[in-house]
A = this chain, B = another copy of it.
Amino acid sequence: MARETVADMPEWCTVEVAMSVLGGKWKMLIVKYLLDGACRFGALQRALPGITHRMLSRQLRELEADGIVARRAYAQVPPKVEYSLTPIGAQLCGVSSALEEWGGRYRRAASAAAPAAGRAAGGAPEPGGTSGD
């Protein structure tokens, strides 16, 4: 068992609940994209550069099991499946934008501190500098 403990976690760690559902490399990205509107499997894959067919499929199924996304399959000859956010999934809008805003701010700071080297080897984004917005 890994993270089937949503309703099982103590009161104090609601963020842990959220992270357990949105954790991983792709979940948030998928959600963020679906916030723009429902779309097909193929469209999603095209939208997530780097994700494999298998991974997208798996993440989608997990999100579905978690009640975040809804799956609508059309009984056609060329299979067509549309994914969309459930109401609770749509409410991730706030999380997504907060993450986006901070991410942008952080990257800006990181770029300012290490214009040509990312931050791999200690290039921390200058704590007391560019972050003053």
A-side interface residues toward B, CB under 8 Å? Answer: 1, 4-10, 13-19, 21, 23-25, 28-29, 32, 49, 64-67, 70, 86-89, 91-92, 94-107, 109-111, 113-115, 117-122, 124-128, 131-133
Choice from B88, B99, B114 contacting A7 with Cβ under 8 Å: B114
What are 13 contact pairs spanning A and B, CB under 8 A?
A: A6-B118, A15-B32, A15-B99, A18-B102, A66-B124, A67-B109, A67-B113, A67-B127, A86-B128, A87-B131, A88-B127, A91-B105, A94-B98
A19 neighbours in B (Cβ, 8 Å)? 25, 28, 99
Q: In the complex, what residue of chain B is closest to A12 when comparing beta carbons?
A: B49
In the complex, the answer to whether B15 meets A110 with C-beta atoms within 8 Å is no
